[in-house]
Structure 1
Amino acid sequence: MPYSPATPSASSPTHRLALAVVTQPERAPNPFMAAPSGAREEAMRFLLQTGADAGVRLIATRPEGDGERLLGQAWPFPSPFQVTVRTVPLSEGLDRIEARARRSLERMGLPRGEVLLVSNAAELAGAEGRALWDRLRSLKDKGLFRAIGFCATVEDGPALLARRLEADVVQVPCSLLDQRAAQDSVLEAIAEAGAAVHLSSVFAGGVLFAGGDELPPELAAHAQSLSRTRRRLAEQRCDPMQAALGYALSLKGVDKVVASVASAAELRAILAAAHAPCPNLDWASLALEAPAALTADARARISSAA
């Protein structure tokens, strides 16, 4: 039976949002950094309750850092949330991947997860790719996860991989600045392959919010283009976050839009932007001419929203 999300998308944009809680020093101020343990747990509890009250139902997690433990200590009761879990690198071995996926659930105090994602689709194309996928399928068959899938870039050929593996979920980056996954019909092809589409990097790693002096050297050539995009948005009285979410939520075939958030205040801003009416913008005119420049390394060096 094809995978269907436990919480189907509803008319409200909030039901299509998934939250990736940032607990590492990826931007400042971050209430999860340099704070007493009790304060960190209270900040997480407040953030989660804010999301729960708004109707958010999916939390996207990573195995790095202390985020899973914090989540496990702060879930609302009863918790309305499902979680996506990501694998550790294949270089750590298949046994370690399986053990760490189980450990992720234990740290969060959950008997099962919604989705288990291979963190790097390229690992599925290698010599151990089939064995890796079989491990994930085994965890699904045992009832530890309702669905399995992978995180991919446009260059990975995610639609063909999803069809070959009969994946349940594919997470792929797409944003106002890098629209290739939409413009090249990659998102539609993934959905046609039978996989639910989760959109990541919708804020382009914070590039859309960064001033010219905040851009890393490899993106300096795009400063003028970014300034022009922000100016066009200002002329339409549409702020960058509103535009980023408006674009992501407008895309057909997308089941979830993953937004990173570091505090309840940020979440409230995201929720307000998601619900704000968006002007009739020419989305294509707002994209960078060379969006492949938005590499993970470049984005990681910008301290704004991810």
Structure 2
Amino acid sequence: MKLALGTVQFGLDYGISNQHGRVSETEINAILATASKDNITTFDTASSYGTSEYLLGKHMQATANYLGKIAPTTAPLDIENEAKASLKNLRANHFSCLSAHHAKWLLNSEHGDDNYQALLNLKNKGLTKRIGCSVYNIEEAKTLINRYDIDVVQLPANLCDQQVFDSPFLSLCNSHNVEIHIRSLFLQGALLMRPSQLPKHLAPLKATHDTLTQIASGNNIDKMTLLLAPFVQHPQISKIIIGCCSNNQLIEVINAYQQANVKQFNYQDFAIVDDNITNPSLWPA
């Protein structure tokens, strides 16, 4: 199962399509029960995701696989304490992977090497099985992989943002045994919104919506299946991190995922080379 559950919505109001704010504890219970039933065992969280870690620890079994992140403001000497505090909240003994929350914490900091060494020390102590970094683009990822011995890179990817399929990047990950995790598959929900609901700065996505709707209708499948298919099928993508605000949303994603294994279509034409659309960090506040 490539699906991993993103949990930022458990602790914070997040996503432009999220109309209900932070997910209630009752709904979290339902979401986690569905995840367990459908063999989703990996959960992406962070110390900066509000109460996400605490709620996961309260409601999940200790055998869950956690992808954690160290806050970008954390000093080298405080990294171990932060990791241990997160594990305590999660009621877990170790992370499946512990990552830097932002690449600049490693690449653009005077303490970059110290931060990396602190992560490596946690791996050597058994507090995490792997170490990695969350990045915004493949250029950051390439620089990181060439500079540090990391195990996992997490980056945004979706039908409009196809940088993950860059051949040199895939070759570099393969040669360094770096596992690829992707996030923002639905572009914070923008690719699932009704075209009439899109904010002005995302108006160019209306054409994408129209074309996807036509393809989905013509093939008698859900549009979400098309959004998932290229990434579900690609052999080098190990995890697809999706966030859900309700149990019904998760059930919909799982159903689409099961169909996405077999649906083939020409997805390359949907790529948009405009960071103002594909990079949520550049969107108007």
Q: TM-score, normalised by structure 2?
A: 0.87
The within-5 A match list for 1:88-99 is 88-90=71-73, 92-99=74-81
The structural deviation recorded for 1:115 is: 0.6
Judging changes above 3 Å, is the alpha-carbon distance between structure 1 residues 124 and 176 closer, same or farther for their aligned structure 2 residues?
A: same
Instruction: State the distance in 1 between where 2:75 and 2:272 align.
Output: 38
Whether 1:28 aligns to 2:19 is yes
Whether 1:231 aligns to 2:214 is yes
Instruction: State the distance in 2 between where 1:271 and 1:224 align.
Output: 26
**Paired residue secondary structure (1:227):** helix
**Paired residue secondary structure (2:190):** helix
Q: 1:134 aligns with which of 94, 117, 120?
A: 117
Instruction: State the distance in 1 between where 2:216 and 2:171 align.
Output: 27
Instruction: State the distance in 2 between where 1:220 and 1:69 align.
Output: 38
Whether 1:49 aligns to 2:33 is yes
The structural deviation recorded for 1:275 is: 0.5
Judging changes above 3 Å, is the alpha-carbon distance between structure 1 residues 146 and 30 closer, same or farther for their aligned structure 2 residues?
A: same
AA paired with 1:25?
A: D
Q: 2:100 aligns with which of 110, 115, 118?
A: 118
1:205–1:300 contact (8 Å) kept in structure 2? no
The within-5 A match list for 1:50-199 is 50-63=34-47, 64-76=49-61, 79-90=62-73, 92-126=74-108, 127-199=110-182
**Paired residue secondary structure (1:207):** coil
Instruction: State the distance in 2 between where 1:184 and 1:291 align.
Output: 20
Judging changes above 3 Å, is the alpha-carbon distance between structure 1 residues 53 and 80 closer, same or farther for their aligned structure 2 residues?
A: farther
Q: TM-score, normalised by structure 1?
A: 0.82
Judging changes above 3 Å, is the alpha-carbon distance between structure 1 residues 298 and 101 closer, same or farther for their aligned structure 2 residues?
A: same
Instruction: State the distance in 2 between where 1:138 and 1:300 align.
Output: 39
Q: 1:215 aligns with which of 198, 223, 246?
A: 198
CA RMSD of aligned residues (A): 2.3
2:43–2:64 contact (8 Å) kept in structure 1? yes
1:204–1:299 contact (8 Å) kept in structure 2? no
Instruction: State the distance in 2 between where 1:224 and 1:185 align.
Output: 30
* Deviations 1:126-169 (CA, angstroms, capped at 9, x unpaired): 22110110111111111111110101122543134213211011
The structural deviation recorded for 1:265 is: 1.9
Whether 1:276 aligns to 2:264 is no
AA paired with 2:252?
A: A
Instruction: State the distance in 2 between where 1:123 and 1:207 align.
Output: 28
**Paired residue secondary structure (1:276):** helix
AA paired with 2:188?
A: G
1:174–1:182 contact (8 Å) kept in structure 2? no
Instruction: State the distance in 2 between where 1:240 and 1:46 align.
Output: 24
Aligned residues: 277
The structural deviation recorded for 1:55 is: 1.2
